[in-house]
Amino acid sequence: MIEKALQFLVKTAQAAAAPTLVCEDDRTARYDAGGTIVVVPKAPALANHHVRSLEDLVAVVLAFDEYYGEPSRWSVWHAPDQVIGVFDNGDRRDVVRFRLTFAESFAALVALECEKPVYIQSDFIHLLDVILGVDKAIIAPFRKLDWRTQIQASGEVAAGRDRMGKEITAEVAGVSALPNDLLIQTAVYREKGERCLLPMGVRCVIRTHPANERIAIRPVPGEIDTAIELAQGSIRQRLEEMLPEGAAIFYGSP
């Protein structure tokens, strides 16, 4: 009984001595420690900046040196989905991000590779004309396709048996005028400063399916990856040109 009473007194004394938070803001916290107000400084929240261009990301990264007075504490990482500048002095790890999204035409090519759709004639023409921006002279032969499907009855009498059947003949007029492949010129990314770069060429193959009156188009294997690598190479080159010599630039994510 006495032991429990002593434990209760100890806990009560400890609780009484524990400081109580009175108020706080972004930079300080005030505690009541036995009637005395103690001000405790707080580190500001980590910065998580977002910019809309590669040039602005470089400007923020270079400003880290001036703001913190600690040069060479930053690194820049680039990947297919974003470019990240990181300032790390051991206590803080502030970041600035430039997010990358595929241009509409390039995203459509990625979908062709992943989803492997087939199109009716009108939808295929819409894809080439509106989404992929193919020259109208190249599209013209696809507008002139004439699908023809014939069903012919056939019969055979042999050894007392009658065998009837149907032969389906499918053909398409004008297919000889179609290209077997197309080089689609497209930007990889849609962001400011990225879309206006020289477009990447993505080679695609075209196949017709007369039996069901469909057309398919697919990027040649490896073409999508090559276009992304070339776009990333352009980003890397511009980072090296805008940042000081020997800057810490990496392909990947921190």
Domain count, the chain: 2
DSSP string, the chain: -HHHHHHHHHHHHHHHHS-EEEEE-SSEEEEEETTEEEEEE-PPPPPEEE-SSHHHHHHHHHHHHHHHS-TT-EEEEEETTEEEEEEE-SS-EEEEEEE--B-HHHHHHHHHHHH---B-HHHHHHIIIIIS---HHHHHHHHT-EEEEEEEEEEEEETTEEEEEEEEEEEEETGGGS-SEEEEEE-SB-STTTTTSPPEEEEEEEEEEGGGTEEEEEEPTTHHHHHHHHHHHHHHHHHHHHSPTT--EEES--
Task: Establish if 56 belongs to a structural domain.
Answer: yes
The tens digit of pLDDT for each residue in 122-161 reads 999 999 999 999 999 999 999 888 876 544 444 444 444 4
pTM confidence score: 0.73
The tens digit of pLDDT for each residue in 205-217 reads 999 888 888 999 9
Residue 176: CA count within 13 A, CB half-sphere? 1
Task: Establish if 39 belongs to a structural domain.
Answer: no
- Does residue 132 share a domain with residue 79? no
Task: Establish if 1 belongs to a structural domain.
Answer: no
Provide the pLDDT for residue 210.
84
| Domain span holding position 207 | 104-146+174-221
Task: Establish if 55 belongs to a structural domain.
Answer: yes
- Does residue 142 share a domain with residue 71? no
